[in-house]
């Protein structure tokens, strides 16, 4: 499912089960880090991969501390992303 904002993403995650969430850092309302924070507290077993346009060590460290399983920069290497998604 594709959502366009923090609010839509959080609602989708709370209303239906997902095996994985892939969250863009730049959202129009709040940030993907904010969404990761909410997801980590409300659905602690949901794995999350963050995607960022501006890969930075500070953001990556924050993401991993909040429970992200990966932090990927754009442009996305889809082969790499599929490897990360197919870890089980």
Extents of the domains making up the chain: 6-85
Quickly state the pLDDT bin for 65 (edges 50, 70, 90).
very high
Separation CA 33–CA 27 (nearest Å) = 10
pTM (predicted TM-score): 0.87
The whole-number average pLDDT for the span 20-41 is 92
Q: Which of 2-6, 35-39, 56-60 has the lowest mean pLDDT?
A: 56-60
Please compute, for residue 34, the number of CA atoms within 13 A of its CA located in the half-sphere on the CB side: 11
The answer to whether residues 35 and 9 touch, using CB atoms and an 8 Å cutoff, is yes
User: Does pLDDT of 88 surpass 50?
Assistant: no
The whole-number average pLDDT for the span 2-12 is 91
Whether domain 6-85 has CATH 3.40.50.2300:
yes
Task: Supply the mean pLDDT for the chain.
Answer: 88
């Amino acid at each position: 499912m594709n959502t366009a904002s923090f609010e839509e993403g959080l609602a989708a995650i709370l209303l239906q089960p997902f095996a994985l969430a892939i969250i863009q850092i730049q959202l129009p309302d709040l940030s993907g880090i904010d969404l990761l924070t909410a997801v980590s507290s409300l659905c602690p077993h949901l794995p999350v991969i963050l995607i960022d346009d501006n890969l930075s060590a500070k953001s990556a460290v924050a993401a991993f501390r909040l429970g992200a399983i990966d932090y990927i920069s754009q442009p996305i290497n889809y082969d790499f992303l599929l490897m990360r998604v197919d870890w089980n």
